Chain A
């Protein structure tokens, strides 16, 4: 398994796509830093109090995180969807699996290697952006680890789904299904929160079901909560309308939900291993 994981990391490092992503992330961080710097200067010129500056910057950060989470989700989906399928289509997998290598070790190695790449990319880009914004604005989120961890976790969830699909479907089909599933999960979360804010339990249930089926939206709430200043949570947390805002979280994800998300990843991996074992190569 470790051999395949190291091989997967090496593949990502040697292929241009990862370096293109890193380049884009650096450009995005540079633009974010420049924008935050201009915004802080403007707010200071207007004589806005420091607390207002921090609130505005925190909202900008959340919005940028949302953009980044989308890019990260796409990256995870399109890294995961060819992981097994392309190897089988090209014949690379047959040469490897004719060796004393269990199919489970091959799949888990692919997953582990890609997870390492995704986590490194998510953590590197996000921490760089947070550090740059903190440097120009003085705003540091209450926790650095928690939003970055939720961001990476979200990507791992989607990548795991992509790997499951990769055991049976072509890379394009698997990637497309992942993107659609991610969008549906986010939309069901937004609908569910609106339903909860309006007291419509039926609509609220849509969000709950969506988060159980694909935990990405629930984990997104963890990213938002980690980036918000405590004062904002204190001021808006009790207001039902605020809770319907997808860019606001009144509380972090429940520990039981986080445990379910971990179990979800394990379950999907088990199903993927079963699928690959049954597949005739």
Chain B
């Protein structure tokens, strides 16, 4: 395996398993992350998100299963040269200056000495720390340290950027900045693996998502696929079940109490539907069209998912 081909997926894992004594943190996780896409990895606390990240980076070893990162086996030393990583527990040498932290990571990935200073300055500017490059990291706030961590993950323009809860310490402005940085990395062709439980953030920036629970993927695909199709609900009076056939050209109609629900149904057909209802003498009180939010869908999927044998029945805080 060369590990250099840009045609290989950024991440490809199959039946990845990780057992911590009696707890099965990963129970056969499979997924593929392409280059040039932002991939959201979602799950409740204790679902196995951080364990997955650690296996991808070689910080922990799988109990069974395996996969590749940038075409090389999990934890491969050479592949790690092209991976940027922001840990969930971001902490950098407090006695170093911000630019020195970036230069250190530049040195570790083999960035030529002549490039390190300019690269550090450029990245610090990008993450909003341009005027703090000479400050000691120990004097940084948590938010600034997270910005620095994001900068560390971008050193050397990596082909894969793994971000574990990248906005946990940031204010709303910082979160907007991070979204811009993530899109920028994607636009230059990098794969971005975004491990997060901030669903609104994922919804805004990710091309594809996987929802993980009890150590396995319970739903994955494009955001549209995971969220499902749009539906239209109309609160009406004067409509009976015998009339439902008239709405079949719009989609599959059902009558749920005083609600006419048609799914799937595209938003742009709402005016036609209202015209038809009015022409049938039906009184229309309210019409709502759209699809469930990621949050609704997430809650629905996770609450439907039952733990496989050998996994804890609850979601312990903190995640593994």
Residues of A within 8 A of B (CB): 3, 7, 10-11, 14-15, 90-92, 94-102, 280-281
Residues of B within 8 A of A (CB): 54, 57-61, 77-78, 80-81, 83, 85, 87, 89-93, 95-96, 104-105, 107-110, 149, 152
A7 and B104: CB pair below 8 A?
yes
Interface residues of B, dominant DSSP: loop
> Contact partner of A98 among B57, B89, B107, CB < 8 A?
B57
Q: Which residue of B lies closest to A101 (CB)?
A: B108
**Cα–Cα distance between A7 and B95 once the two chains are bound (Å):** 10
Of A92, A99, A280, which is in contact with the most chain B CB atoms at under 10 Å from its CB? A99
A99 and B89: CB pair below 8 A?
no
Given A91-B89, A92-B91, A92-B92, check contact A98 B59 (CB 8 Å). Answer: yes
- 11 A-B pairs within 8 Å (CB atoms) are namely A3-B107, A3-B108, A7-B104, A11-B95, A15-B95, A92-B93, A95-B90, A95-B91, A99-B105, A100-B109, A281-B59
**Cα–Cα distance between A244 and B61 once the two chains are bound (Å):** 53
Chain A residues whose CB sits within 8 angstroms of the CB of B90 once the complex forms:
91, 95
Chain B residues whose CB sits within 8 angstroms of the CB of A280 once the complex forms:
54, 59-61
B54 and A95: CB pair below 8 A?
no
Q: Which residue of B lies closest to A102 (CB)?
A: B77
**Cα–Cα distance between A90 and B104 once the two chains are bound (Å):** 18
**Cα–Cα distance between A7 and B77 once the two chains are bound (Å):** 21
**Cα–Cα distance between A91 and B110 once the two chains are bound (Å):** 22
Chain A residues whose CB sits within 8 angstroms of the CB of B107 once the complex forms:
3
B89 and A94: CB pair below 8 A?
yes
Chain B residues whose CB sits within 8 angstroms of the CB of A100 once the complex forms:
77-78, 80-81, 108-110
Chain B residues whose CB sits within 8 angstroms of the CB of A10 once the complex forms:
95-96
Chain B residues whose CB sits within 8 angstroms of the CB of A98 once the complex forms:
57-59, 80, 83, 85, 87
Of A11, A14, A100, which is in contact with the most chain B CB atoms at under 10 Å from its CB? A100
**Cα–Cα distance between A95 and B102 once the two chains are bound (Å):** 12
**Cα–Cα distance between A91 and B53 once the two chains are bound (Å):** 14
